């Protein structure tokens, strides 16, 4: 079926996303729902390049940071801008881990550490794409044995569904032919005020996180191994407060992350249940976004390392102009045996489901 008509409310053009990378074709796919809202995705890295939703007055805007053509997606100064992440989301200390008695060395692409699957991780791959209908897209990729230093050949499917409740549902599935580690996520950079030149800071937005604990980090953003209570710290978002209220507090953890860049331990009744994780409210536009996930962790990142890069249609993305809510297992899990396991065995299926639900309040 035709993936996109020439007309869409994001203004993106399909032909601007069509090229060939390593013999595979890239394209643009538009998902629509009955509310008249849209999500635009390219199969290069599974990048979500537009989420068009209304504010409280019905005014449409793109609430995710992205580019307006494939070359800018490929060459983005922020390689992880609103893309799929794998095989391992977040950091692994010194890029090293042990599995069945063997030591593995991954690329160190974030200071001394491995980050987000490495420089040629899933965010740089052209996925096989099949648009099922107006509101769903299936991406598939086979990660070869040894790719980026990981063991096992892994087959991954990701489904994007944009339903009539304005929920962007992302479902993941993966299998392997050899024991390996996996931690998949999507790195959406959300700007609920709408991207602009410059895109406004997220510091005035209200954030609520359903977590009593978070993971402190060292100076190079690796979890110390402690699981710390949020109460009495700048990390307590159990009741909504503005992102900016404590972001510049004199706090060692905030200094280590240059703001929020920490994994929250989500409150769960049982492992793997789909439950409420977080809510963001943008007070001026009235836009809201709720996050639900089956994952045990949620990395909250406040765009501390954005540097005013150029994005779609002249928009710019300054420091702290986005919030990322990356549902995942914990960073550096292979080196912390008591963190929830990220090992996947042959015969098992890795699954994950995360929902980003958009709405408005007066």
User: Domain range for residue 308?
Assistant: 193-360
Domain presence at residue 94: no
Looking at the fold, whether 169 and 203 belong to one and the same domain comes out as no
Task: Please tell me whether residues 49 and 80 are part of one structural domain.
Answer: yes
Of the candidates 131, 154, 181, which is a domain's last residue? 181
- 3 has a pLDDT exceeding 80: no
Catalytic residue among 116, 123, 135, 187, which? 187
Per-residue pLDDT tens over the stretch 257-270: 999 999 999 999 99
Both tokens assigned to 98: 């042990």
Q: 136: number of CA atoms within 13 Å, CB side?
A: 12
Mean pLDDT of 128-147: 98
A 10 A CB-CB count for 293 gives 26
CA distances from 162 to 32, 71, 356 (A): 7, 26, 10
**What confidence tier does 165 reach under pLDDT thresholds 50, 70, 90?**
very high
Q: Of 137, 161, 181, which residue is a domain's last?
A: 181
Same domain, 206 and 165: no
Q: Which of 309, 278, 275 is nearest to 291 (CA)?
A: 278
Whether 311 and 223 map to the same domain: the answer is: yes
List pLDDT tens digits, range 104-122.
Answer: 999 999 999 999 999 999 9
Residues 241, 165 within the same domain: no
Q: Report yes or no on whether pTM surpasses 0.75.
A: yes
Same domain, 64 and 134: yes
Q: What confidence score (pLDDT) does residue 1 get?
A: 36
On whether residue 228 sits in a domain, the answer given is yes
**354 in a domain, yes or no?**
yes
User: Residues 172, 314: one domain?
Assistant: no
DSSP code for 77:
S
Answer for the pair 299, 328: CB distance below 8 angstroms, yes or no: yes
If asked whether residues 136 and 207 sit together in one domain, one would say: no
Is the domain of 23 the same as that of 163? yes
CB atoms within 10 A of CB 267: 14
Look up residue 135 and give its two tokens: 């509101």
Reply yes or no on whether 100 is catalytic: no
CATH number at residue 29: 2.70.98.10
Is residue 307 pLDDT above 70, yes or no? Answer: yes
- Asked whether residue 46 is assigned to any structural domain, the reply reads yes
On whether residue 6 sits in a domain, the answer given is no
For the chain, what is the domain count?
Answer: 2
Active site residue 123: no
Task: Please report whether residue 265 resides in a domain.
Answer: yes
Look at residues 181, 204, 234 and tell me which one is the last residue of a structural domain: 181
Q: Is residue 109 part of a domain?
A: no
What is the C-alpha to C-alpha distance for residues 109 and 87, in angstroms, rounded to an integer?
14
166 & 210 share domain: no
Phi-psi region of 256 (alpha: psi -120 to 50; beta: other; left: phi over 0): alpha
Task: Report helix, strand or coil for 256.
Answer: helix
Shared domain check, 156 and 287? no
Is 4 contained in some domain?
Answer: no
pLDDT band at 7 (very low <50, low <70, confident <90, very high): confident
User: Residues 38, 147, 148, 326: which is the catalytic one?
Assistant: 326
Query: Are 162 and 134 found together in one domain?
Result: yes
């Amino acid at each position: 079926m035709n993936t996109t008509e020439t007309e869409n409310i994001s203004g993106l053009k399909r032909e601007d996303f069509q090229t060939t990378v390593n013999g595979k074709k890239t394209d643009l796919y538009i998902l629509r729902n009955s509310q008249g809202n849209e999500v635009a995705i390219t199969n290069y890295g599974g990048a979500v390049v537009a989420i068009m939703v209304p504010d409280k007055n019905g005014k449409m805007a793109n609430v995710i940071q992205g580019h307006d053509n494939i070359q800018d997606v490929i060459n983005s100064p922020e390689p992880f801008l609103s893309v799929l992440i794998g095989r391992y989301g977040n950091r692994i200390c010194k890029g090293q881990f042990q599995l069945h008695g063997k030591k593995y060395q991954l690329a160190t692409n974030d200071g001394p550490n491995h980050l987000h699957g490495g420089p040629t991780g899933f965010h740089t791959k052209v996925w096989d794409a099949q648009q099922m209908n107006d509101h769903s897209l299936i991406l598939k990729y086979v990660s070869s044995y040894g790719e980026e230093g990981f063991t096992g050949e892994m087959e991954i499917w990701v489904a994007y569904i944009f339903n009539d409740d304005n929920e962007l549902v992302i479902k993941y599935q993966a299998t392997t032919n050899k024991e390996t580690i996996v931690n998949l996520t999507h790195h959406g950079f959300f700007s609920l005020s709408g991207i602009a030149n410059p895109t406004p800071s997220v510091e005035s937005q209200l954030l609520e996180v359903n977590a009593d604990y978070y993971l402190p980090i060292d100076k190079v953003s690796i979890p110390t191994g402690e699981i710390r209570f949020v109460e009495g710290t700048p990390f307590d978002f159990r009741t909504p407060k503005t992102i900016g209220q404590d972001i510049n507090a004199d706090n060692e953890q905030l200094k280590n992350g240059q703001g929020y860049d920490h994994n929250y331990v989500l409150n769960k009744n049982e492992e793997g249940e789909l439950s409420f994780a977080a809510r963001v409210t943008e007070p001026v536009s009235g836009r809201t976004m709720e996050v639900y996930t089956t994952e045990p962790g949620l990395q909250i990142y406040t765009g501390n390392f954005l540097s005013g890069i150029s994005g779609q249609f002249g928009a710019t993305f300054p420091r702290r102009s986005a919030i990322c809510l990356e549902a995942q297992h914990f960073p550096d899990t292979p080196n912390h045996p008591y963190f929830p396991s990220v090992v996947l065995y042959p015969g098992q299926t890795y699954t994950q489901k995360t929902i980003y639900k958009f709405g408005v309040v007066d």
